[in-house]
Amino acid sequence: MVPSPGVPKTLVVVGNGMVGHRLVEAVRAEDTGGSWRVVVLAEEPRPTYDRVALSSYADSWDASGLELDRADYAGDDLVELRLGDAVTVVDTERRTVTTGSGHEQAYDALVFATGSRPFVPPVTGHDLPGCFVYRTIEDLDAIRAAAEHSASVRGRRAGMVVGGGLLGLEAAKALRDMGLSPHVVEMAPRLMPLQIDDGGGALLRRLVADLDVTVHTGTSTERIERDGDRMFAKLGNGTELDVDLVVFSAGVRPRDDLARAHGLAVAERGGILVDSSCRTAVPDVYAIGECAAVEGRCYGLVAPGYSMAEIVAAQLLGRDGTFPGADLSTKLKLLGVDVASFGDVHASTEGALEVVVNDAVSGTYKKLVVSDDAKTLLGGVLVGDASDYNLLRPLVGRALPAEPASILAPSGGAEGGVGVDALPDEAQICSCNAVSKGAINEAILAKGCDTVASIKGRTNAGTGCGSCVPMLSKLLDSCGVEQSTAVCEHFSQSRAELFEIVHATRITTFSELISRHGTGKGCAICKPAVASILATLAPLIGTPNHILSGEQATLQDTNDRYLANLQRGGTYSVVPRIPGGEITPEKLMVIAEVARDFGLYTKITGGQRIDLFGATVDQLPLIWRRLVDAGMESGHAYGKALRTVKSCVGSTWCRYGVQDSVGMAIELELRYRGLRSPHKIKAGVSGCARECAEARGKDFGVIATENGWNLHVGGNGGAMPRHAQLLASDLDSETLIRTIDRFLMFYVRTADRLQRTAPWIEEMEGGLGHLRAVIMEDSLGICDDLDAAMAKHVGDYADEWRGVLEDPEKLSRFSSFVNAPGAPDPTISFRTEREQKVPVLLGVPEVVSR
């Protein structure tokens, strides 16, 4: 129904998941006249969040990272959100709903967006303590608490996931991130049976098994028993598993109970029955998302739910809307493994042909399903490398631009026959938000969008799962929009190009570089970038490698200029290096004495070091002297350089450790200390697959195996966290170090300014495969050069703190006042909080110490 102008009607949305949220956003975005007032009645106690990314919650245990924009509708007077008050009664005659608290709400239009519930097979013992489902933040909190309790009681950690589909592997990832060794039990003969075929399932099983996940396929769970703190799961094939907890993640069922109980029709296999416009048989009552059965069929993905939400919003605002069917294609990274499928995965179309390239060595499986004349693409499966997904998926049902085999395995390793230009305008680039190539091209050519960010803002493409973002860059290129890689207005070159210029010409100063290859005098962007390049290349081009030598000192930003981190209130923090987190009691006592004597605030960092806060500029050399004399050195916490190599205690102490992780971490940290780079570098070494050093969250992470070391690269935390990808397995120590040498030097040479390793690899043509070819197979013939550069860096390393202490000219820089050396800065003052001093900040209210 369409409300009359000026007379607000009430839309009631039952459920507050991602699809319900999309409906509210769509209505509010287009209802400029305020014709609808929206009331959202939510069962959960928190605003809606990104359930698709639920597994990432186990990375940080910070629920704010899953929040959706405007989830609480703050400041919108036309949206009322009632949390923790589920609807219990629906009266379609009176047009009211009643909640559990007794609140009655009238409606003019009612939308069911109740989602789905986890399916728990009727296994004996499924309701015992220690059995969980995997659906909400609260579910993960409960699983985590059980895992931690079991570890404290039993000293070992293993978990079982019932279900080897998409949700099951997501749950296995979460368990592994909690430090458990997961078992996955799947009734079908392969993992992800709905999305991939036998060949892809076989490779996925092998790749997953390499990541400390034990897979049991072709069998069911017969019963679960509990004996004190132990749980035993008996499988149909006779296997008995001794586990700490069980997670059921065997699919979902539509939550149609409320509608069913109040007389609405449901589909034969469940779901609120609606027509192609998402209408029920009851006037002005709709259903969307996983609870809806559109003409009898339910869809368990968020993209079809979003489409339903847009359709209902259109009808509420007086337009027509019909569900066009769903794109069930998926592209995922499960346990660090790329998996994608699209179209007719199982070649069920009459006469369909399959073209397969299965490369067991590189760990990739690619299949295209084509028509009987091999000219039309019907579907496909990609495992291990899904980089072609964004180009292939929009071609489903269309003519292929090249022979299928040449697309999957181009001759000579060249790019295949599919490019963005081959896609028709109506091809859907962003399936989450149903944005076509034509709409994106219009935004670029007619609306002036010249960056990926501006395309996102104009079209919403790339704002969902993000898998289509690389395509947006390619469309910009296709439309002739040149995407600048210039460092800044003073240099037209990219950082990588400037690196090669300095390397080739042996230019030793910024002033010479800008006079010969740039314009103007430079800025706060290019000066530190060039300073980093000069510092990295100093051993190779024969210049002083101390960053405060000569003109170098004037190029540095504040932190590098004082070899310490500037903090609030104008003071600095000092972080001595503690390689691998290992430190002697004597050095600990020196740090404690320095902190006491200089009145410094002390804090242990997440990188296994000790941070000393509150030092003034003139105190820095005095503090360094005490630390250097005790055998310590700069930890480079202030620099775009290697920060830390975190470690667990490894085989030296831990009964699960299989390699000396501490020894390896110390060797790596001492090897790469002081290496200047485009961004900070963090690393970790774990002594076993339980991953206590969180190596997969680091720029490079090393995990011990029975046969050596697994090397993961391209992980990072921050605003856009990434899990590192497996580069190589079971390396001996010598090969491991050589591979890391090349990885770091290649990154230093080719990355953009302030680009972490994760986006560097993501934006690299060919991605991880290309990186592996360059540094492990020497495809570019540069490995000898990379090896020599790292050897030169290691041989020429010198502690920057000691370099200042031994040079009177450099020492003279460390004074609060040039004309009064040693005089205290009157603008700096402190107060006491929790028995330590903290800065007093102008304009900031003082917090009472607790």
Q: Which one is predicted more confidently, 820 or 479? A: 479
- The mean pLDDT of 550-577, rounded to a whole number, is 81
Neighbouring C-beta atoms of residue 834, cutoff 10 Å? 8
Name residue 382's beta-bridge partners: 340, 366
Question: Which residues are known binding-site members for [4Fe-4S] cluster?
Answer: 648, 654, 688, 692
* Least confidently predicted of 530-534, 605-609, 836-840: 836-840
Q: How remote is the C-alpha of 89 from its chain's centroid?
A: 41
Domain boundaries, the chain: 9-116+254-316, 131-250, 329-418, 495-556, 661-673+680-798
What pLDDT was estimated at residue 221?
95
User: In CATH terms, are 131-250 and 661-673+680-798 the same topology?
Assistant: no
- The mean pLDDT of 341-366, rounded to a whole number, is 87
pLDDT mean across residues, the chain:
86
Q: Where are the beta strands (DSSP E) in 384-512?
A: 428-430, 435-436
What is the per-residue pLDDT across 718-755, written as a single tens digit (0 to 9) for each? 656 778 889 999 999 999 999 999 999 999 999 988 88
Tokens 């592209």, located at residue? 331
What pLDDT was estimated at residue 821?
52
User: Does the pLDDT value for residue 538 go beyond 80?
Assistant: yes
Name residue 245's beta-bridge partners: 159
Q: How remote is the C-alpha of 602 from its chain's centroid?
A: 31
Query: Which amino acid makes up residue 395?
Result: L
- The mean pLDDT of 823-839, rounded to a whole number, is 68
User: Does the pLDDT value for residue 254 go beyond 90?
Assistant: yes
Per-residue pLDDT band for 287 (boundaries 50, 70, 90) equals very high
Give the residue from 369, 359, 365 showing the smallest Cα distance to 392: 369
Separation of alpha carbons 461 and 775, rounded Å: 34
User: Does the pLDDT value for residue 321 go beyond 90?
Assistant: no
The CATH-assigned architecture of domain 329-418 is 2-Layer Sandwich (3.30)
Query: Which amino acid makes up residue 765?
Result: E
Separation of alpha carbons 39 and 37, rounded Å: 7
Q: How remote is the C-alpha of 736 from its chain's centroid?
A: 25
Separation of alpha carbons 255 and 250, rounded Å: 16
Separation of alpha carbons 783 and 789, rounded Å: 10
What pLDDT was estimated at residue 435?
84
Question: Which residues are known binding-site members for siroheme?
Answer: 692
Helix, strand or coil, per DSSP, at residue 682? strand
Q: Which one is predicted more confidently, 385 or 785? A: 785
What pLDDT was estimated at residue 54?
85
Its sign, for the CA torsion 625, 628, 630, 632, is: positive
What pLDDT was estimated at residue 788?
93
Contacts of 740 (CB under 8 A, 6+ apart): 668, 672, 700, 702, 711
- Give the angle 838-840-842 at the CA atoms, nearest 5°: 155
User: Does the pLDDT value for residue 440 go beyond 50?
Assistant: yes
DSSP-derived letter for residue 420 is G
Domain 131-250 has CATH 1.10.10.10: no
- pTM (2 d.p.): 0.57
Separation of alpha carbons 786 and 219, rounded Å: 50
Its sign, for the CA torsion 68, 119, 43, 274, is: positive
* Least confidently predicted of 159-168, 193-202, 559-568: 559-568
DSSP-derived letter for residue 290 is G
Q: Which of 522-531, 645-654, 731-740, 797-806 has the highest mean pLDDT?
A: 731-740
Give the residue from 584, 526, 512 showing the smallest Cα distance to 555: 526
What is the per-residue pLDDT across 100-150, written as a single tens digit (0 to 9) for each? 999 999 999 999 999 999 999 999 999 999 999 999 999 999 999 988 887
Residue 565, both tokens: 């981190």
User: Does the pLDDT value for residue 36 go beyond 80?
Assistant: yes
Contacts of 588 (CB under 8 A, 6+ apart): none
* Least confidently predicted of 142-146, 325-329, 570-574, 637-641: 325-329
- The mean pLDDT of 518-523, rounded to a whole number, is 86
- In contact, 13 and 111? CB cutoff 8 Å: yes
What pLDDT was estimated at residue 631?
94
Give, for 447, the enclosing helix (H) or strand (E): none
Separation of alpha carbons 750 and 780, rounded Å: 13
Q: Where are the alpha helices (DSSP H) in 137-254?
A: 137-154, 166-177, 198-209
Question: Which residues are known binding-site members?
Answer: 648, 654, 688, 692
The CATH-assigned architecture of domain 9-116+254-316 is 3-Layer(bba) Sandwich (3.50)
Separation of alpha carbons 73 and 40, rounded Å: 10
Name residue 332's beta-bridge partners: 339
User: Does the pLDDT value for residue 847 go beyond 50?
Assistant: no
For domain 661-673+680-798, the CATH class is alpha beta
User: Does the pLDDT value for residue 829 go beyond 70?
Assistant: no
Neighbouring C-beta atoms of residue 124, cutoff 10 Å? 12
